[in-house]
Amino acid sequence: MCELLALCFNVPVGFRLSVRVFRRRGVENPDGWGVAFYPDRAALVVKEPACSTRSGLLGFLSKYRWVRSKVFIAHVRHASAGSVAYRNTHPFLRELRGRDYVFAHNGTLRGYRRLGLGRFRPIGETDSEYVFCYLLAEIERRGVERWGREDFEWLHGKLRELNELGSLNCLLSDGEYLFAYHDVRGYNGLHYVWRAAPFPRVRLADEDFEVDLEELKEPEQRGYVVATRPLTDEEWLCFARGELIVFRSGVIVYRSSMPELTGEELKVLAFIRRSTHRVSLKAIADARSMSMDSARDAVRSLLSQGLVRQDSRDRVGWSHEDATFYTNPYMRDKIDQAIRTGRA
């Protein structure tokens, strides 16, 4: 089964750590690997129809500091449709309205050739590239110039329609937004983790090796890593089945479903939502009669799930007692409904 990896951060970052563990997934997916990123508005895709674990090219790329981007999409392939060839290796790249879109897919679709294509045509034989061309044609027909909430909802509907043809986990980006969709039947899994200072010490999955993220990352970096399976021993969260999450500059700007919350998390979220101005971590702890550590844990979970944001005017990190928060404007309809129904 193929595996996916994506990064979306607020500032350009490297992908050396993620590649170190992700390339090992090529043992089970030996038919190709690829990485797409954005040095500027244009995308660069590097890929080869070979096993990532033995790739000198991938090792070469991971050593260079100039390989930095706010968005990365990577893929290791186990061929289920199409031959083992460069043309069939993910990610795929096309230009639309002056933007480079890249796409990677995990799963198998059937009956997809009945889908109408516009001016985009596949070069290879995979179902993945075909549906990418179809999606771009649909985006062009819709006339999307700048993505907005209604466009996100429309795209979610399109992906759910495609999902009826089989299994579909996919990543799509135009360099500004990262779209991540998880199969409606939960095929192969899809997970995400939020990273922000203070960065922890983590153990890499599949390796007896620890890394201090504090030594690798700059204090202002924050964002998300998305992967088929967790890459580290951090607290990775699962996508809901059939869920689309949209990331931009290291924050979640849209998610199609409301995540499940604990009772305490829901109460903290309700307190923040009902406040007439941004509220501090200390105010949350005092209002909920919580210890600072408990308040910090609840807020971190809400930040990770994209339900709250730290105010950009703060001069302290998110874990400081003076850090202030407000609810994500893109999620307020779903937050209000969860508060009304008391759903935890």
Instruction: Please state, in angstroms and rounded to a whole number, the distance separating the CA atoms of residues 310 and 327.
Output: 9
Instruction: Please state, in angstroms and rounded to a whole number, the distance separating the CA atoms of residues 228 and 287.
Output: 38
Phi-psi region of 170 (alpha: psi -120 to 50; beta: other; left: phi over 0): beta
Q: Is 46 exposed, middle or buried (0-12, 13-18, 19+ CB in 10 A)?
A: middle
Residues 326 and 281 sit within 8 Å (Cβ to Cβ): no
Adjacent-strand bridge partners of 174: none
Active-site residue, 133 included = no
Q: Considering the candidates 2, 51, 133, 170, report the single residue annotated as catalytic.
A: 2
Residues 127 and 108 sit within 8 Å (Cβ to Cβ): yes
A 10 A CB-CB count for 289 gives 8
Strand (E) or helix (H) holding 334: helix 332-341
Residues 142 and 126 sit within 8 Å (Cβ to Cβ): no
Supply the residues annotated as catalytic: 2
